[in-house]
Amino acid sequence: MERLVLRRVVLLGAPLALAILEIFHPERPNSASEAVEQGVWFHFIQVPLIGFMALAVYLLTDRLEGRAASVSRWAIGVFAVFFSAYDAAAGIGTGYALRNAQGLSAGAQEAIYEAVKDMPVLSLIFGLSVVGSLAWEVALVAAAVALRRAGASRGPFILLILAGVFLMGGHPYPAGTLAFGSFFLAAAWLEFATGRLTSASQPLRT
């Protein structure tokens, strides 16, 4: 019973918390001081939630076998590493860089702000974002396929696909809220639906 409660806290609590949190994701700041105040505190909350979100995806397929389930588990591991690194660098890292620059002149602070507010296309942070987002999509699509083959209905299958696609639009509201909200609905559907999933090798349910 205790293990079931912990499972549901992660499986349902993490996506619901992130879906709500992204509604309050800081808007694009207009100055260095705004970036410091908005970015650091928010991402200190968001980064650990991303780890719990990865664990929630893993829990969806933890009892399933087959290639799709394995791909999902590997991909969500990549997501956890790269997306957490991206979020920490883009949110916490730049926020601290700007905070440490507050002792400089106003002109120097704004120069640093201008340098970090627009992420270059070929930057390390951008690369972390791309790899993490693609890994999320692969993990969710593979999990959806594995669950469908195990007998899950079309509803969770579609919601998991949408969760994978929505995050490609970024994690702030509305795309992030739609992504994590879709995952929450799919997980709740699967968790409380009648009947049990079979092995991933079973034929699809129509």
Contact call for residues 143 and 61 (beta carbons, < 8 A): yes
Cα 187 to chain center, whole Å? 15
pLDDT at residue number 186: 97
Average pLDDT over all residues of the chain:
83
Domain boundaries, the chain: 2-192
- Whether 120 has a pLDDT exceeding 60, the answer reads no
**pLDDT tens digits, one per residue of 15-65:** 999 999 999 876 655 555 555 555 567 778 898 999 999 999 999 999 899
Give mean pLDDT, residues 93-110: 63
From the list 103, 87, 66, 112, the residue with the least C-alpha distance to 21 is 87
The model's confidence at residue 195, banded by pLDDT at 50, 70 and 90, is low
Contact call for residues 166 and 136 (beta carbons, < 8 A): no
> Which residue is it, tokens 């995050």?
167
Contact call for residues 151 and 202 (beta carbons, < 8 A): yes
Verdict on whether the full-model pTM lies above 0.85: no
Calpha distance 202→53 (Å, rounded): 28
Using CB atoms within 10 Å of the CB of residue 107, give its burial: 0 to 12 exposed, 13 to 18 middle, 19+ buried.
Answer: exposed
What stretch of H or E contains 179?
helix 175-192
- What's 204's DSSP letter? P
